[in-house]
Amino acid sequence: MSDSTTWRDLVLDQLDFYWQAHLWPRLTDLQDEEYLWRPVAGAWSLRAGEDGVVRIESVVPEPPVPPVTTIAWRIAHVGRDVLGKRARALFGGSDAPPEADMYDDRHWPEPLPLTAAGGLALLEEGYTRWREGIATLDDEGLLRPIGPKGGPFAEDSIAALAMHLNRETMAHGAEICLLRDLYRAQVTNDDPVVRAAMAGAPGEVDRLLSSRPDVEELRSSAPSLLADVALHHWDIVRTLLQHGFPVTSQTATGATALHYAAAAGETGMAEHLLERGADREAVENAFGFPPAGWAEHFGHADLAARLRSEDGFPA
* pTM greater than 0.85: no
Q: Comparing 219 with 145, which gets the higher pLDDT?
A: 145
Render pLDDT for 232-279 as a digit per residue (tens, 0 to 9): 799 999 999 999 999 999 988 889 999 999 999 999 999 999 999 999
Range of the domain at 118: 7-185
Q: How far apart are CA 127 and CA 81, in angstroms?
A: 11
User: What is the DSSP code string of 209-265?
Assistant: HHT-TTHHHHHHH-TTHHHHHHTT-HHHHHHHHHTT--TT-B-TTS-BHHHHHHHHT
Residues 207 and 224 in one domain: yes
Single out the residue in 153, 185, 217 at which a domain terminates: 185
Mean pLDDT of the chain: 92
Residues 31 and 138 in one domain: yes
Render pLDDT for 71-85 as a digit per residue (tens, 0 to 9): 999 999 999 999 999
Question: Residue 47: enclosing H or E segment and its boundaries?
Answer: strand 46-48
Task: Give the DSSP letter of residue 86.
Answer: H
Residue 305's pLDDT is: 94
Residue 4's pLDDT is: 52
Q: How far apart are CA 164 and CA 15, in angstroms?
A: 11
74 falls within a domain: yes
Residue 2's pLDDT is: 46
270 and 259 Cβ atoms separated by less than 8 Å = no
For residue 154, CA distances in Å to 95, 132, 144, 147, 210 come to 21, 21, 10, 4, 66
Residues 289-306 have a mean pLDDT of 95
313 falls within a domain: no
The count of domains in the chain is 2
CATH code of 133's domain: 1.20.120.450
Q: Hey, CA dihedral for 116, 122, 125, 127, is it positive or negative?
A: negative
Task: Give the DSSP letter of residue 152.
Answer: G
Confidence of residue 5 (pLDDT cuts 50, 70, 90): low
- Tallying the residues shown for the chain, one arrives at 315
| pLDDT higher than 60, residue 1 | no
Residues 24 and 143 in one domain: yes
Residues 146 and 14 in one domain: yes
Confidence of residue 314 (pLDDT cuts 50, 70, 90): low
Question: Residue 55: enclosing H or E segment and its boundaries?
Answer: strand 54-56
Residues 28 and 139 in one domain: yes
Confidence of residue 163 (pLDDT cuts 50, 70, 90): very high
